[in-house]
A and B are shown apart, each in its own frame.
Chain A
Amino acid sequence: SQQGEEDPQALSIQEGENATMNCSYKTSINNLQWYRQNSGRGLVHLILIRSNEREKHSGRLRVTLDTSKKSSSLLITASRAADTASYFCAPFSGQNFVFGPGTRLSVLP
């Protein structure tokens, strides 16, 4: 199974600032996904980027993928207090995948 490792473990920013989270993985992938967890319950899928894509946008989210470095980044622009959550990356290699410990983002008003 494939596990993503997020970095940093925790991040605090002011409302309106941008937040960048990174993810590294070890083996080749079909796609990489980012998820958000707000309240210690279920995760919500944010965005999926395929191995042949380099960048993808969805609203205030921008995801990049560098397969040569086996890394991805998630950028949240113009952050809001409601973005406060844990963010997980999930590299998918065709079998099951394992979530890493996540990045805990705190957006301060």
Chain B
Amino acid sequence: GAGVSQSPSNKVTEKGKDVELRCDPISGHTALYWYRQRLGQGLEFLIYFQGNSAPDKSGLPSDRFSAERTGESVSTLTIQRTQQEDSAVYLCASSFVGRGQETQYFGPGTRLLVL
């Protein structure tokens, strides 16, 4: 089936505006992850959803960041009042936890530029 998809591919916004990033996981995957990757840096964990459990929000850098996921489907990451330091690639990944594999399948990412 289809892989993880993310939209938009690229987003340019002005400082102070809100942005919403979307992730469509692989159908049937119970776990969904959001990461941020600044230019030339490693991945920075943001948030993790697993089934109907409370999400692990420990990686969200500030209260301007929030994410939602409805059931085991699409997730949206919202950044309010964007700042220039929010410029990065935002990666989403999904996996099927429980089969002992837990391999993460990544989407292509959304490249966010805050001017």
Q: Do A and B bind each other?
A: yes
Q: Which residues of A have CB within 8 Å of B4?
A: 42
* Candidates B59, B91, B93, B102; contact of A31 at CB < 8 Å: B102
Contacts A1-B58, A95-B56 given; indicate if A41 touches B108 (C-beta within 8 A): yes
Q: Which residues of B contact A31 (CB under 8 A)?
A: 100, 102
Which chain A residues (39-68) contact chain B, with CB distance < 8 Å?
A: 40-45, 48, 50
Known: A1-B58, A99-B35. A43 touches B42 (CB 8 A): no
Please tell me if the beta carbons of A99 and B93 are within 8 angstroms of each other in the complex. Answer: no
CB<8 Å pairs between A and B, sample of 9: A1-B45, A30-B102, A33-B104, A40-B39, A42-B106, A43-B43, A88-B43, A98-B43, A99-B35
Question: What's the count of A-B pairs with C-beta under 8 Å?
Answer: 63
Q: On chain A, which size bracket covers the interface?
A: 20 to 34
Contacting residues of chain B (1-27) with chain A, CB-CB under 8 angstroms: 4
Interface range for B: 20 to 34
Contact A96 B33 (CB under 8 A): yes
Chain A, range 11-38, C-beta contacts under 8 Å to B: 30-31, 33, 35
Which residues from B are CB-within-8-Å of A92? Answer: 102
For B100, B104, B106, the residue with the greatest tally of chain A CB atoms inside 10 Å of its CB is B104
A94, chain B: closest CB distance, angstroms: 9
- Most chain-A CB neighbours within 10 Å: which of B35, B39, B42? B42
Minimal beta-carbon separation of A26 from chain B (angstroms): 15
Q: Are B42 and A100 in touch, CB under 8 angstroms?
A: yes
Q: CA–CA, A48 to B31, complex, Å?
A: 18
Inter-chain contact A41/B89, CB cutoff 8 Å = yes
Closest to A98 in B: B45
Q: How near does chain A come to B31, taking the closest CB pair, in angstroms?
A: 8
Q: A96-B56, A100-B42 are in contact. Are A40 and B35 (CB under 8 A)?
A: no
A48 and chain B: residue at smallest CB distance: B103
